Amino acid sequence: MRALSYAQARAHNSTQMLSLARVATPFSLDESDRFFFIGTCICRQMERALRARGLNVLSTSPAYPAGDNGLLGLSLHDKYYIRSILQELEWALGRATFPLESLVGMPRSTCADLQLPRAVHPVTREHALARREVLRKYFARIVDANVVVVELTGADQWFDRATGLGLNGEPPDWAARREPDRFEYQLWRYDDHYSAISELRSLLRGIAPSMRLVGIVNPGGLERTYRNADIETVSAFYSSTMRTALGNLADEFDDVAYFPTFEAFMNAPPAEVFEGNHVRPPVLDAAMGSMLHSFGIDRPATDPDYDEAAYLRANPDVAASVKAGRIPHGYRHWFAQGRAEGRGLTTPDCPTDEPIAAVDLQATIRATPPGSVPTRKRIAMPVIVTNTGSTSYASFGRYPVYFCYRWYDQEGTERETGRSVHTSLAGTLGPGETSAFDAWIATPEAPGTYTLALTLLQSNVAWFDDIDRKNGFRCAVIAKGGDMPPAREHREGLRL
pLDDT at 148: 98
| Mean pLDDT, the chain, whole residue set | 88
Mean pLDDT, the chain cut into blocks of 10 residues (496 residues total): 81 78 94 96 91 95 72 76 97 97 93 89 91 96 98 92 95 92 95 97 96 94 81 90 96 96 90 76 90 95 83 90 93 94 79 82 93 88 92 83 94 83 81 86 92 94 95 95 43 33
**Beta carbons of 423 and 439 less than 8 angstroms apart:** yes
pLDDT at 68: 67
Report pLDDT digits (tens) over 429-468: 888 989 888 888 989 989 999 999 999 999 889 999 999 9
Domains, the chain, ordered by start: 17-305 (no CATH), 358-487 (2.60.40.10)
**Beta carbons of 349 and 389 less than 8 angstroms apart:** no
pLDDT at 2: 74
> Any bridge partners for residue 458, and if so which?
401, 462
pLDDT at 489: 34
Q: How far is CA 175 from the centre of its chain?
A: 24
Q: Return d(Cα 290, Cα 476) in angstroms, integer.
A: 47
Q: How far is CA 378 from the centre of its chain?
A: 17
CB atoms within 10 A of CB 165: 21
